[in-house]
Amino acid sequence: MAEEKIVKAVTEALKKAPERKFIESVELAINLKDVDLANPKNRLTEEIILPKGRGRQVKVGLFGTPEMAAKAQGVADLIIGAEEISKMADEKSETKKKVNGIDFFVAEAPLMAVVGKNLGVILGPRGKMPRPIPPGADPGQLISNLRKTVKVRSKDRRTFHVAVGTRDMNPKDISTNIESVLNRIRSKLERGYMNIHSVYVKTTMGPAVRIDLR
């Protein structure tokens, strides 16, 4: 896929989008074809690291022992000690508010079962079950990667959306992110780009511009 085509589409989408009082996200709308999404095995569920980042703050929370919490100070946006987990399960309303404000969670591996047992009903439906970290490991690199990560979930729908940046980013950087997303999705489809009917790029509230995949 020619990079120039993607840059051209991104530039056009940014130009056509009216100015807003907030910084809009830039996203892809991807339409699949000839894929039986009624079969869960054919659905896309991917996490992709955007090489140029999300363009916005991505918040990461950590479940850990005091040792792990100390390493995460200044790195994680929310640190939850092991002794707090069961308490959070009893304070569902407050816990939901905390969870909704965090994009991703990580947890020290031995705490995964405790987190699942107490908070699985809250984290699971939101797609926010934590990624495990080995005891004693430095959580910094994993958290750094998550800040640049987007989720791709087609579920049973032919059309789905993926964030690829923000309006104030350079069009070439957004295009680099788009290439990474499309390359990953292509690699997961049985017939590659032949299973993609169309791809559009747009700002949150702006008009969609088609990307020529030929």
In this prediction, residue 150 carries a pLDDT of 93
User: Are both 71 and 121 inside the same structural domain?
Assistant: yes
Q: What span, in angstroms and rounded, lies between the C-alpha atoms of 196 and 32?
A: 4
Look up the domain containing 111 and give its range. Answer: 60-146
| Residue where a domain stops, chosen among 107, 130, 146 | 146
Quick one: what percent of the chain has pLDDT higher than 70?
A: 100
Strands of 131-133's sheet, edge to edge?
78-81, 60-64, 104-108, 131-133
Looking at the fold, whether 125 and 93 belong to one and the same domain comes out as yes
In this predicted structure, the answer to whether residue 37 has a pLDDT above a threshold of 70 is: yes
Residue 114 has pLDDT above 60, yes or no: yes
Domain closes at, from 126, 146, 166: 146
pLDDT at 156 over 60: yes
pLDDT digits (tens, 9 = 90+) for 175-195: 999 999 999 999 999 999 899
Across the range 123-138, mean pLDDT stands at 92
- Looking at the structure, do residues 80 and 20 belong to the same domain, yes or no? no
Residue 214's pLDDT is: 76
pLDDT of residue 2: 72
Q: How many domains does the chain have?
A: 2
Kindly state whether residues 138 and 73 are assigned to the same domain.
Answer: yes
Do 128 and 92 reside in the same domain of the chain? yes
Q: What is the pLDDT of residue 1?
A: 54
Claim to verify: residue 142 and residue 113 sit in the same structural domain: yes
Q: Are residues 67 and 109 in the same domain?
A: yes
68 and 43 inside one domain: no
